[in-house]
Amino acid sequence: MASDLRKALASAVIACLAVSSAADGGSGGLTPEAVLEELQLQYGRHHALEAEFVQTVRYVEFDTEQRSHGRVFIKKPGRMRMEVEKPQEQLIITDGDTLWIYTPEHEQVLRRVLGDVERSFQPAAILFGDSEIAYRFRLVGEAEEGAAASGGAAEAGSEAEAPLIVLELTPLDVNPYVSKLILSIDRSTWHVMRLEIDTGAGTLTTFDFGHGWRKTSLPDSLFHFVPPAGVETFDVQ
């Protein structure tokens, strides 16, 4: 299961690069292409974002799940820093080329070099509108009011209570990391409130962003990682 967790975490991190917020704007026509176009338009207005998250990883075969929460920071192009606070402290950083996962308790660093395929298909490229990989878009529909709060991160009266547009993205070609990606988007703010990732290998990962996303200013150094002295580094595929 530890190997599955590493794969799920790597897939989730790659997919999480897609998540961002958008400022004001209406939903317009609710065709999948219109929703994606509006999301790309709104996303393009921001350079750096931060949010709190609740992550749930479910292992279908074992009928078990693991939950964690923390903060995530995203900056163009393709950079992300995820600080997992509970139940186990963990730092996850990518500069768009290399993914680092540091677990202080284990005194261990996992390093993964992202290949061309991973960088090109990652959902961030879709939201930026610069992906050359063909995707099939399917608009699932609107979630019930308050649906994004099911992860426990939202409070009464928060933006998460607005009706959601649910956009499902499925790669046309076989993808070893993501078989299905579902974005739940607040139609009033265009915040991505939930990200669901199905690896197609029995692992389902969900990120809930119950408090929405905030514009911020982030230094480039936040996305640079050097393994601490005395800590073992392992390369993973």
Residues 101-147 have pLDDT tens digits of: 999 999 999 998 877 656 555 545 555 455 554 566 676 776 654 44
202 within 8 A of 209, measured Cβ to Cβ: no
Could you tell me what percent of the chain has a pLDDT over 70?
68
Residue 194: domain span: 2-235
Q: How many CB atoms lie within 10 A of CB 134?
A: 9
Angle at CA 181, nearest 5°, toward 110 and 152?
A: 80
Secondary element (H or E) of residue 6:
helix 2-16
Both tokens assigned to 1 = 């299961």
What's 104's domain CATH number?
2.50.20.10
Contact 114, 236 (CB under 8 A): no
Concatenated DSSP letters for 127-163? HHT---S-EEEEEEEEEPTTGGGGGS---TTSGGGS-
Whether pLDDT at 196 is above 70? yes
Residue 164 CB neighbours (<10 A): 26
Inform me whether the pLDDT recorded for 185 exceeds 80.
yes
The pLDDT, as a whole number, for residue 21 is: 32
How much is the mean pLDDT over the chain?
Answer: 74
pLDDT > 60? residue 186: yes
pTM: 0.74
pLDDT at 161 over 60: no
Structure-token pair, residue 34: 């219109």
Q: How many domains is the chain built from?
A: 1
21-30, pLDDT tens digit by residue? 333 334 445 7
Which residues have a Cβ under 8 Å from the Cβ of 81 and sit 6 or more positions away? 72, 73, 91, 92, 93, 222, 223
